[in-house]
Amino acid sequence: MMRPNVMASGGPTPKFTDYHIWKALMVMSETRPIGRKSLSAALNIGEGSTRTILDMFCDEGYITVTKSGAVLSEKGKRAKDMVKVDVSPVNISDLTIGAVNCAVKIRGVSKKITYGCEERDAAIKAGATGATTLVCVGNKLIFPGSEYPVSPHVENVLKKEFRIGNGDVIIIGTAVDPEKAERGAVSAAIRLIGGIRLSKSALDIPFQRNANKELISLAFTIHDLVGRLPVAARSKDNLGIRIENGAVIDNTYTGDVLEEAMELGTTIRRVATSGPYKGIKVIVAPLEVDGEVVAAVGVVDIRAMAGVDNLIRRYESDE
């Protein structure tokens, strides 16, 4: 899915970001059907930019256009579900500096957080007054880079809104109005997960890093080569993806074996002890560029499947 080359036709450059694409999917999943003017008002961007987003969705088959407006298709609903970001307004002014707060939960990404400065800067760039980042360690919400927990009141408020587990991250956007608070928090969250990845053909969206696009393309190629067995891939600088049956079903994925392979820089074969492949033998190999491990790719260990190891041993003994 590519943005149309608006400049080539003499029109203005579309003014929208990953946040507006996410917001469009959310709005369209709740309001059906919806016209361009109503969607433009909900996104708080111009009708030209909204038309570009709708054209992108239409090209990908994410929407069905009727006389009454656009409706998300089943493919569009799956694309919306892949953007795993939970959002809720919260009232915790004793922790933040703005009048209005919006919290976002991102699952299992705490290892990507240092001190929360990058998330704060991304939120401010998106229009918020600021942002506070928290990580869940030992089932407690703490400030990143320290062992200081939040107050019991703040933790209770957030745990009433979200189901929070170890490794999860909470970003609280703060601003003068709800829209800017949400935009700041969600923009920071989307940056943290490496941008929006809607489908295999969405790899051409300009706001994704080229290296990450190449890794996803490689993962799809491996997926096809191994007969569409599950494939997981994760780069050093971005969260991973999990591919099953020809589609990305998780775009914030990571796992212990992926992390271990990147850290040690060696291929690992063992039974997964957690996650969706718990109890299954997997093989994960690191990807090196100029002597540096930049990513890891994992599949179900084909050799460990029924009879394959014995077949290989018989072949080797015959030689």
Could you state, in order of their start, the residue ranges of all structural domains in the chain?
6-81, 85-192, 209-304
Fold classification of 6-81 (topology level): Arc Repressor Mutant, subunit A (1.10.10)
Q: Other CB atoms closer than 10 Å to residue 136's CB: what's the count?
A: 23
Q: For residues 54 and 250, which has the higher predicted lDDT (pLDDT)?
A: 54
| SS3 assignment, position 159 | helix
Residue 12 gets which letter from DSSP?
P
Confidence at residue 203, expressed as pLDDT on a 0 to 100 scale = 36
Confidence at residue 212, expressed as pLDDT on a 0 to 100 scale = 64
Q: Which helix (H) or strand (E) holds 234?
A: strand 231-235
Question: The domain 209-304 belongs to what CATH superfamily?
Answer: GAF domain (3.30.450.40)
Weakest-pLDDT range from 11-15, 95-99, 132-136, 170-174: 11-15
Percent of the chain residues past pLDDT 70, beyond the cut: 84
Weakest-pLDDT range from 98-112, 123-137, 191-205, 263-277: 191-205
The tokens for 204 are 């051409």
The tokens for 72 are 């998300």
Confidence at residue 59, expressed as pLDDT on a 0 to 100 scale = 84
Flag whether the pTM goes above 0.95: no
Token pair 């929208």 in the structure block, residue: 16
Confidence at residue 304, expressed as pLDDT on a 0 to 100 scale = 63
Weakest-pLDDT range from 74-83, 111-120, 197-206: 197-206
Instruction: With cut-offs at 50, 70 and 90, classify the pLDDT of residue 231.
Output: very high
Q: For residues 81 and 208, which has the higher predicted lDDT (pLDDT)?
A: 81
Average pLDDT over residues 196-224: 62
Weakest-pLDDT range from 47-51, 177-181, 204-208, 217-221: 204-208
Fold classification of 85-192 (topology level): Gyrase A; domain 2 (3.30.1360)
Query: Mean pLDDT across the chain, nearest whole number?
Result: 82
- Residue 72 contacts residue 62 (beta carbons within 8 Å): yes
Confidence at residue 211, expressed as pLDDT on a 0 to 100 scale = 59
- How far CA 177 is from CA of 161, 183, 297, in Å, comes to 20, 10, 42
- 22-72: per-residue pLDDT in tens? 999 999 988 778 999 999 999 999 888 898 899 889 888 899 988 889 999
Q: Is the pLDDT of residue 280 over 70?
A: yes
Q: Is the pLDDT of residue 311 over 60?
A: no
